[in-house]
C-alpha cells in the first residue's frame, strides 16, 4: 500500500542579504503554486561578486512536496 | 541529428512493505500522466520509524521519460 | 530582497555525432518552451553501442532557467 | 531558540532474508535503549557470501534520535 | 607515540533563526557533557517548511572532541 | 608478507521479483567459475520499466574473490 | 528468475583528435572479443600534454556487456 | 576561438559573526589583488570551538577570476 | 532472523611516525573498552605542520564493533 | 628521496566550438608561463546559453606542472 | 587514430606491515601475468583487527595496464 | 571582523620509499617559500610502476597556509 508519493525539484534562490534569505525567497516563490512543501535540502551555496564586492548570496535547494498526478 | 530528448524527475515513493513496493508505488503514480517511462535509478533509501518500529520504507528515484515540449 | 528564483531540470540529449551535438539537441528542445535559459551543467556522458559500434552519444544536463510561478 | 538536537549513529544490521529485514533488525536492537528514533538512512547495502551462496544481507544505516545530554 | 585520539559524532542542531544559530545550539548541547570540543564540520543544511513557510533551519554537524576511554 | 590478494569485479544482476533476487542471480552466475567469493557490495539499484510497469529490478555489485594469477 | 547478468569493465581509450574518438577507439578494441556490448559510461576525461601542446584526449569508460560464465 | 580563461583558487575565510561574513572577508582580501572576480562557490563550512563556545565561522571557497598570463 | 548488529564510530588517531601508527594508536585506545572490533576503514589522512615541518600524521577511521544494547 | 613535486591548478577554458577546443585554449594560455605541463583532468563541463542557443562550451581542468619554489 | 587502450582492474592487497607493503603485494601478484602495468590508484585503505590488535593493512587499488584483445 | 584568510593549494609529492615520505617531500618544498603552513589533507595516493615494480609512491595534498595579499 502506498502512503503517498513526493516529488523533488531543484530551485536556486537569491538574496543580497544572506543564504537564509536566499533560501526563504525560493521557498516563498514555490509555495505560491505547490502544495504540502515539507523539506528543502541545501545542495550548494555560492556568491555572486561584482567589482570585488559580494552582490548576491545564492542557495540551490532540493524541495520536496506532495506529487500531483496532473503535474 | 537528435534521436530524442529525455527528462529526469526525482520522486520519493513510500510503502509499509518493502523498498521494491515503495519504488513500484512511485512508478505507478508517475505512469498515470507520463509517457514512455524507461528507467528509475535509486538515489536513496530510508526508513521512517515510529515508537521504535519501522512504519514506512521510502525510495528516492530518478525517473526518465520522453521529454514533451509542452511540459 | 529576492533577485529572482531559478529552476533546474535534468535532461538527456542524444546525437549520432558528438556530445556537443547531444547537448545542443537537448538545449534546442528545451528552449522551445522555457524562457531565460542560462547554463547547462554536464552531469554524465555515455555511449549507446549496437553490434560493437557507437550509435549514440548522450549527455545528461542540469539546465537552469527563470522559474515561472505557474509552473 | 533551539527546537531540539538530534544525534545520528551508524549501525549495520544483518539478516538471512532481505535488506528490509536487516534494517529492521538494527532498528529493533537500537530501539531497546534509544528514545525518539525518527529516520534511518541507508548508507550501504552488501552481501556476505559463503561457498558461492548468499548467507547474509547487510544494511548500514544512519539512525537519528533525540540527543540526551548525559550520553 | 600517540599524541591523542579524537572521536567524531554527528549531531543535528535546529533553530528558527539561522543556520549559525542551529549549529550553535548543537554545540551548546554537546558542550554540557563533552570535553575539549575542537571543530564542527557542516555536513548538511536543510529547512523545515510548514504551510509554505520556513519554520526551522537545521545543520548536521560532525563534531570532534577528545576521546575518553570510558566512553 | 602478503596474506592474499583479492580481485573485485563489477556485475549487474537482474530479476523480475526483487533486488535481493537480482543480487543472488549475479552471485549464482559468478560462483560457477570464481572461487572463494566473499562479499558483494551494492553500487547501484535501478528499475526497468515497460508500459508503465516495473519489469525488472537490477543490482550493480562489486564482487570480491581470491585473485588467481592465471587470470 | 534471472533475466541475464552483465559485467562491467573499465577501459581507457585514447585519441589525438577528440574524446568521442578516444571512446570509439576503446569500444572498437573491446568489441573484437566481447559480445553484446550495450552502454559505455564516461567516468573521467583527461588530456595528455607535451611541450605545452595537447597530444592526446583520453576517456575512461565503464563498459557493460553480457557476462559469460567461462570468463 | 577562446572567449577567455578563468582560474579558480581555494580560500578559507573566517569570522566571529556568520558564514556570510566569513565568505565576505575572504572575497575582500582576494579582491585587493585579483581582477574580475566572478563567483565564489562554497566548498565547506565549519566552526572553531573553544571552551565549549563557537569562536569562529569558517567558509572554504572556490573563487574564480580572469586568468592573467604572468601569474 | 538477525545475525548480529554492529556499530560504527569515527575516531582520529595521531602519530609522529606514520599513518599506520596513527591508525594503530586509535585502535589501541578503542580496544580498551570496546569488544569485538572487526574492521577500521580509513576515511581521511592528513598532516599537521609546524614551522614548515610535519609534526603529526593523522588518520580518521570508521571502526566497527559488536553493538551492545546498553550503549 | 624526492623525485620531484608537482602543483595542480584549476582553470576554466572556453570555446564557441567544442569542449576539446575549450580545454586546448586553457592549456595554451597556461603553457605561456608554466613549464613542464603534464596532464589536465576534466573536472566539469558546462554550456553557456543565450537566447536559447549554446554560445560557449566550457571545461574546468585540473592542470599539473612542475612546482617551482619561487612560486 | 588510437594511441593504445588500457584496462583498469581493482585489486585488494594485504600486509601485516604497512599499506605500502599491501599495495606492493598486489602489484607483485598482478605483474606475474599482466604486461605494461603503469599506475595503481589507491581507492580505499582499511585495517583488519583481531583481539583488539591490527593484524592486516589492506589497500584497494585500481591498476591500469595495456589492454590485450584476447582478454 | 576577519580573523585571517587562508589559501589552499594542491601539490603532488613523490618518493621511492613511502607515502609519508612523499607527503613530507611536498611539504618541505612548499615550506621554502610559503609561510605559516598548517595542515595538509591527503586527496589521493597512487603508485608509479615500471617493469612490474613499484618505483614511486605519490601523495596528492591540499596544503593550507596564510594568504598573502601580494600573491
Of J45, J46, J54, the CB nearest to C24: J54
CA H35 to chain J, closest CA, distance in angstroms equals: 15
Q: Mind listing the pLDDT tens digit of every residue in chain K (71 residues)? A: 446 899 999 999 999 999 999 999 999 999 999 989 999 999 999 999 999 999 999 999 999 999 876 54
**DSSP designation for B51:** T
> Mean pLDDT over residues C47-59, rounded?
97
- D11 touching chain B per CB within 8 A: no
**Phi (first) and psi of residue I23, to 5 degrees:** -65, -45
Q: What is the pLDDT of residue D2?
A: 46
**Which tens digit of pLDDT belongs to each residue from D19-55?**
999 999 999 999 999 989 999 999 999 999 999 999 9
Sign of the four-CA dihedral F71, G4, G5, G9: positive
Asked whether the beta carbons of A15 and A21 are under 8 A apart, the reply is yes
Determine how β-strand H37-50 pairs with β-strand A37-50: antiparallel
A13: which chain C residues are within 8 Å (Cβ-Cβ)? 2, 5
* Mutation target vs A (from H39, H65, H66; most A CBs, 10 A cutoff): H39
Q: Inspect the interface and report whether the beta carbons of C69 and A32 lie closer than 8 Å.
A: yes
Half-sphere exposure of D52 (CA within 13 A, CB side): 8
Residue D67 or B68, more confident: D67
Question: ∠ CA I21-I27-I33 to the nearest 5 degrees?
Answer: 150
Residue E3: pLDDT band (50, 70, 90) is: low
H45: which chain A residues are within 8 Å (Cβ-Cβ)? 45
Asked whether the beta carbons of I64 and I6 are under 8 A apart, the reply is yes
- E17 touching chain I per CB within 8 A: no
**Which tens digit of pLDDT belongs to each residue from F19-31?**
999 999 999 999 9
> Mean pLDDT over residues C49-69, rounded?
93
Q: What is the pLDDT of residue C2?
A: 46
- I12 touching chain E per CB within 8 A: yes
Beta strand spans in chain J (E): 6-15, 37-50, 53-66
Residue in L closest to J71 by C-alpha: L33
Asked whether the beta carbons of K23 and K40 are under 8 A apart, the reply is yes
Q: What is the pLDDT of residue A68?
A: 75
Q: Inspect the interface and report whether the beta carbons of D25 and I9 lie closer than 8 Å.
A: no
> Given a contact as 3+ CB pairs under 8 Å, which chains touch A?
B, C, E, H
The percent of residues in chain H predicted with pLDDT above 70, rounded, is 92
* Cell (9 digits) for B18: 518493502
* Cell (9 digits) for I9: 564510530
Residue in J closest to C61 by C-alpha: J46
d(CA A16, CA A27): 16
- C40 touching chain J per CB within 8 A: yes
**Which tens digit of pLDDT belongs to each residue from H21-43?**
999 999 999 999 998 999 999 99
* Mutation target vs H (from E19, E36, E42; most H CBs, 10 A cutoff): E42
* Mutation target vs E (from A42, A43, A44; most E CBs, 10 A cutoff): A42
> Mean pLDDT over residues D52-67, rounded?
96
Fold designation for A7-66: Dodecin subunit-like (3.30.1660)
Of A4, A69, A70, the CB nearest to B14: A4
Partners of residue F56 on adjacent β-strands: F48
* Mutation target vs D (from E13, E34, E41, E63; most D CBs, 10 A cutoff): E13
Question: ∠ CA H15-H17-H21 to the nearest 5 degrees?
Answer: 60
* Cell (9 digits) for H52: 565549549
Q: Inspect the interface and report whether the beta carbons of E49 and A31 lie closer than 8 Å.
A: yes
Q: Inspect the interface and report whether the beta carbons of I9 and E4 lie closer than 8 Å.
A: no
Q: Inspect the interface and report whether the beta carbons of K31 and L53 lie closer than 8 Å.
A: yes
Sketch the domain layout of chain K as residue ranges: 6-66
- Which DSSP string do the residues of G55-67 spell out, in sequence order? EEEEEEEEEEEEP
What is the distance between the terminal CA atoms of chain E, rounded to a whole angstrom? 22
The percent of residues in chain E predicted with pLDDT above 90, rounded, is 85
> Given a contact as 3+ CB pairs under 8 Å, which chains touch I?
D, E, K, L
* Cell (9 digits) for H33: 589583488
Q: Mind listing the pLDDT tens digit of every residue in chain G (71 residues)? A: 446 899 999 999 999 999 999 999 999 999 999 989 999 999 999 999 999 999 999 999 999 999 876 54
Q: Which segments of chain L have a pLDDT < 50?
A: 1-2, 71
D27: which chain B residues are within 8 Å (Cβ-Cβ)? 47, 49, 52-54
The structural architecture, per CATH, of the domain F6-66 is 2-Layer Sandwich (3.30)
Of F18, F40, F45, the CB nearest to D47: F40
Of the candidates F31, F19, F14, the residue with the CA atom closest to the CA atom of residue G3: F14
- D27 touching chain I per CB within 8 A: no
Q: Inspect the interface and report whether the beta carbons of C3 and A15 lie closer than 8 Å.
A: yes
E9: which chain D residues are within 8 Å (Cβ-Cβ)? 7
Asked whether the beta carbons of J63 and J26 are under 8 A apart, the reply is yes
Asked whether the beta carbons of F11 and G6 are under 8 A apart, the reply is yes
Regarding chains F and B, contact by 3 or more CB pairs under 8 A is answered as yes
Q: Does residue C19 surpass a pLDDT of 60?
A: yes
* Mutation target vs A (from H6, H23, H45, H65; most A CBs, 10 A cutoff): H23
> Mean pLDDT over residues J7-20, rounded?
97
Query: Any idea how long chain I is?
Result: 71
d(CA B14, CA B29): 11
Of C20, C38, C45, the CB nearest to J49: C38
- J44 touching chain G per CB within 8 A: no
**pLDDT mean values, one per 10 residues, chain F (71 residues):** 81 97 97 93 98 97 85 45
Residue in B closest to D45 by C-alpha: B45
Q: What is the signed CA dihedral for H54, H55, H60, H64, rounded to 10 degrees?
A: 130
Q: What is the signed CA dihedral for G26, G32, G34, G38, rounded to 10 degrees?
A: 60
> Given a contact as 3+ CB pairs under 8 Å, which chains touch B?
A, C, D, F
- H9 touching chain A per CB within 8 A: no
Amino acid at each position: 500500500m502506498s502512503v503517498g508519493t513526493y516529488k523533488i525539484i531543484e530551485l536556486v534562490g537569491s538574496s543580497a542579504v544572506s543564504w537564509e534569505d536566499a533560501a526563504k525567497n525560493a521557498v516563498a516563490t514555490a509555495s505560491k503554486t505547490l502544495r504540502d512543501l515539507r523539506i528543502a535540502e541545501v545542495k550548494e551555496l555560492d556568491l555572486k561578486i561584482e567589482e570585488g564586492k559580494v552582490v548576491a548570496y545564492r542557495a540551490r535547494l532540493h524541495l520536496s512536496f506532495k506529487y500531483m498526478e496532473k503535474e
